[in-house]
Structure formats: structure tokens, C-alpha cells
A and B are shown apart, each in its own frame.
Chain A
Amino acid sequence: SQQGEEDPQALSIQEGENATMNCSYKTSINNLQWYRQNSGRGLVHLILIRSNEREKHSGRLRVTLDTSKKSSSLLITASRAADTASYFCATDNSGNTPLVFGKGTRLSVIA
């Protein structure tokens, strides 16, 4: 069962622009995480936001969480060509359940 649904499915921007990706989910969550995947590689964890948090920053990444709307957004500021990858949100509804991933957003940053 797919819990998270990312939007848009694909995004193409120029280097230096900001990229915003959204994630919507269906049931209540314990926390929400964002991951990055370069083509043909494993996923790499980017950031985790807990259900009682509203915003979190890590370098050029900013994540927001709105539990009333069951949605999260990932903002990458001043994007670089090296940011080209697929980005996935993942949720869990307790500390003991596996993460459930969305289908991802494919980001292309054009130099």
C-alpha cells in the first residue's frame, strides 16, 4: 500500500532556481522522512520531521509538515545540477512499522 503521494511526478528547473516537491499521505503518522535516489543507486536519507514539528532545515533543504492537511513539502534552494535525482517521501505510523514510500518526484536541474 502506497501511503505517500509526491507531486509533481517530474520537475525540470534551471540551476540556481528553487525546487519544491510536495507529499500527501492518508493516515496519521509518527514521522515523515525525505530520501534522495540517484539513477540506479540506493536511497539516501535527507531529513526526518516528527509529527509534532512544523518545519525543519538542513543546509539548502527546508521541509514543512502540516498534519491537519496530511501533507509535507521539500524545498531545495539554489539548486545545482548535482541535485538531479528522484526524491521520495516516506512515512510510518508508529516506531515499529516499516517505512512506506511514495512514488517519488524526478527532479532535473539544467545547468
Chain B
Amino acid sequence: DGGITQSPKYLFRKEGQNVTLSCEQNLNHDAMYWYRQDPGQGLRLIYYSQIVNDFQKGDIAEGYSVSREKKESFPLTVTSAQKNPTAFYLCASSIFGSGGRNTEAFFGQGTRLTVV
């Protein structure tokens, strides 16, 4: 099956700890994205990558880091600098720049991160 997989589904973080959320896709998409969702806030963009070894900050990048060493993978690290990390994190992928026209994004099932 083609798709985008996030793991784990639930994650608990202690104060001062870094945690990494996994996102893998086998859709051969160039572009990958991380969004954060808080209740009533919709989706806010954290980071995105349109090509391997390159990524861009989104609206709320502070306290987060990413890497894009492989086309299939775009892990997100929530660092101890992120003071309010409890949220639902969504990873997505899409075809990049297809003739200048954006195409649909495919989403993973999300990771719910809770600070304990």
C-alpha cells in the first residue's frame, strides 16, 4: 500500500527531554510537511521540505528541528526549548511544484504528544 506513516501514535515527554516523531512515506513525493494542531486552532505549519537535504521554517518553528536525509523520511524533533509541546502533530506529503500547480496533500494519522 502507498501511504504516509507516523509513529508512534501516542508519545509522552518528560520536562527537559527531546523526543523525535517519525514520518515515512512511500508515495515518491518530493515535499513533506509538519503541522501542529491544537484544539480550536486549526493546523499550523512547523517545517517543510521540498527536496532532500533542504528544509524551511514554517510559522512556529521555534523549539523544533527536522532533517531530510532521505526522500522517504522527515523526522521531527521536539526539543526542550519548546515550552508547550502538548499537541497533535500531523505529517503530510505532496508532489512538489507540478507545473507550478499545487496538488493534494496526503496526511499521516498523527502523533499525540503529551508532556508529563
Contacts and interface: CB of A to CB of B under 8 A. Distances in A.
A2 B45 CA distance: 10
A59 interface: no
Contacts of A48: 103-104
Q: Determine the interface band of chain A, counting residues with CB < 8 A from chain B.
A: 20 to 34
Contacts of B104: 33, 45, 48
Contacts of A98: 31, 33, 45, 48, 58
Interface centre among A43, A94, A102 (most CB of B within 10 A): A43
B35 A42 contact: no
B99 interface: yes
Contact of B41 (A30, A44, A92, A103): A103
Interface string A54-79: 00000000000000000000000000
Interface in B5-54: 6, 31, 33, 35, 40-45, 48, 50
Q: Determine the interface band of chain B, counting residues with CB < 8 A from chain A.
A: 20 to 34
Given A1-B59, A40-B110, A43-B90, A100 B45 contact: yes
Interface string B87-116: 010101000111111111111111010000
Interface in A66-110: 88, 90, 92, 94-104
Contacts of B42: 2, 88, 101-104
Contacts of A26: none
A50 B101 contact: yes
Contacts of B90: 42-43
B37 to A, nearest CB: 9
A31 B104 CA distance: 10
Contacts of A104: 42
Interface in B60-95: 88, 90, 92
Contacts of A31: 101-102
Interface centre among A30, A33, A101, A102 (most CB of B within 10 A): A101
B105 A45 contact: yes
Contacts of A96: 50, 96-97, 100, 102
Interface of A: 1-2, 30-31, 33, 35, 40-45, 48, 50, 88, 90, 92, 94-104
